Structure 1
Amino acid sequence: MELKGKLAIVTGVSKGIGLETVKILLNAGMVVAGWGRTNNSIEDENYHFFKTDVADWDNVQASSKATREKLGKASVLVNNAGFGVQGLIHEMDVNDWKAMFDVNVHGLFYCTKLAVPDMIAMEEGHIVNISSIAGTNGVETMSGYVGTKHAVTGIGHSIFKELRNHGIKVTTIYPGSTNTHFFDKIAFANANEHMMRPEDIAQTVLGALQTHPNYHVVDVEVRPLKPKG
């Protein structure tokens, strides 16, 4: 897709992969609508922040309407917002479990549901879902988070088949350990320099977007080469 001048919506833009994705899409000449509960420090005439809780259907509808009225139709949606809570299945707090599904799964659905009609009308679009290698296997003490990311895998694989004939691509990216704040409350790992950089995940997003119209990157699994240094 030719990206210059087109609109991208990116969720979860305050830090980490979302922040770096905003930066790299701006550098590629896109207009970016950042959706998140918290903004970042980017100051760019082509960056527009819309305070959004993706877990709240009414809030997402309001942000979608405001974005469309101010910036037009989005050609790209990057579903990045997400979080994980660690815990054994029998000790997991019910509210934490529900919150993960509300953000990681329902939020992705809400944003995608509202973006797709405009992409169908334009006969062009690209949805990128930031999943995790937790979307491909089990992880002890992370069953809730893993469950949400397996859901993202299934949704992505299903909707690319629904949307491909409308000229819309759906790509799911499965990062391994990445140096972000995700690990702040995870007991078995700490963010460190041997993990992947969030800007490299953002570069992977850009690479998928820049492909030929008839070239569809469906799944991308990325891992650190030397996770222990």
Structure 2
Amino acid sequence: MELKGKIAVVTGVSKGIGLSTVEALLDKGAIVAGWGRNAPELKHENFHFFECDVRYPESVQRAFDQTISQLGVHVSVLVNNAGLGIGGYLDEQSIEDWLTMFETNVNGVFYCSRLVLPGMKELGEGHIINISSIAGTTGIEGMSGYCGSKYAVRGISQSLYKEVRNYGVKVTCIFPGSVNTNFFDNFENITSRENMMRPEDIASTIVHALESHANYHHVEIEVRPLMPKGRIQK
């Protein structure tokens, strides 16, 4: 897809992968609508922030209506990036924390995707990028709720790409390993970050997938730090 002049929606844009993705898309000439609870410290003529909490369908609908009203008829790109993780053993995790993860990580993908898809189908072109996690491919002790939510993102992505591929619409699910973002702020046992991936590296992968030939489809992409524990010392 040629990104210049296209309307792209990115969720969870205040920092981390979301903000880096916004910046990468702006560099390509896209018109970017950032949906999030908090606005990033970013000023650009082609960046437009719309307050949105993806847990709530009415909030997503309002952000979508504002985006279409102000920026144009069709959204060509949606990056479902908004997400969070709260650690805890299943029998110890609060119902509130469990619901918060699923409402954000899973329901948010549904609420956002269902609104942009009719326009993408009409346009005959579009790309939805869903940010899952390595936790969406393997279970992790003490993170059953988070893993469950990210497994769900994978299942949704796998089904959805088959539903929309013949309309010329792509769906790509990305599974990052550890990325140096604020995601780990709530995990006391995570102390070393220098060997994690950079948010801008994930953003570059997103752009690479978006710019691929119309008949070339990245269904799933797994990315990890090369040396998560650092280089072996001889």
Report the TM-score, using the length of structure 1 for normalisation: 0.99
Once structures 1 and 2 are overlaid, which stretch shifts more, 184-193 or 85-94? Answer: 184-193
Counterpart Cα distance in 1 of 2:132 and 2:202: 11
| Pairs within 5 Å for 1:167-178 | 167-178=168-179
- Matching residue of 1:118: 119
Secondary structure of 2:76's aligned partner:
strand
RMSD across aligned C-alpha pairs, in angstroms?
A: 0.7
Q: What is the CA deviation profile of residues 11-61 of structure 1, one whole-angstrom value per residue up to 9, with x for unaligned ones?
A: 000000000000000000000000000010110000000000000101111
Corresponding residue for 1:13?
13
Instruction: Work out whether 1:64 is the aligned partner of 2:52.
Output: no
Indicate if the aligned counterparts of 1:89 and 1:143 stay in contact, CA closer than 8 A.
Answer: yes
The amino acid that maps onto 1:2 is: E
Tell whether the 8 Å contact from 1:77 to 1:127 is kept in structure 2 after alignment: yes
Shift of 1:172: 0.4
Kindly indicate whether the alpha-carbon contact (under 8 Å) linking 1:184 and 1:190 is maintained by their aligned counterparts in 2: no
Shift of 1:189: 1.9
The residue aligned with 2:32 is 32
Q: Which letter maps to 2:150?
A: K
- Matched with 1:89 is 90
Cα contact 1:60–1:111 (8 A) shared by 2 = yes
The superposition leaves residues 95-144 of structure 1 with CA deviations (integer Å, 9 ceiling, x where unpaired) of 00001000000011000000100001101000000110000000000000
Q: 1:60 to 1:191 in 2, by over 3 A?
A: farther
Unpaired runs of at least 5, structure 2? none
Matches of 2:91 and 2:17, distance apart in 1? 31
Displacement of 1:191: 5.4
> Aligned residue for 1:219?
220
The one-letter amino acid paired with 1:30 is A
Check whether the contact 1:178–1:191 (CA below 8 A) recurs between aligned residues.
no
Q: CA deviation at 1:186?
A: 1.4
Partner of residue 156, structure 1: 157
Residue type at the aligned position of 1:198:
P
- Residue 3 (str. 1) matches residue 3 (str. 2): yes
| Paired residue type of 2:49 | F
Aligned length: 229
Q: Distance in 2 between matches of 1:169 and 1:15?
A: 26
**Corresponding residue for 1:44?**
44
2:18 partner letter: G
**Is contact 1:4–1:30 with CA below 8 Å preserved after alignment?**
yes
| Alpha-carbon distance between aligned partners in 2 of 1:139 and 1:188, rounded to the nearest angstrom | 14
Give the whole-Å Cα distance in 2 for the aligned partners of 1:163 and 1:218. Answer: 12
CA positional deviation for 1:228:
1.0
Q: Which runs of 4+ in 1 moved over 3 A?
A: none
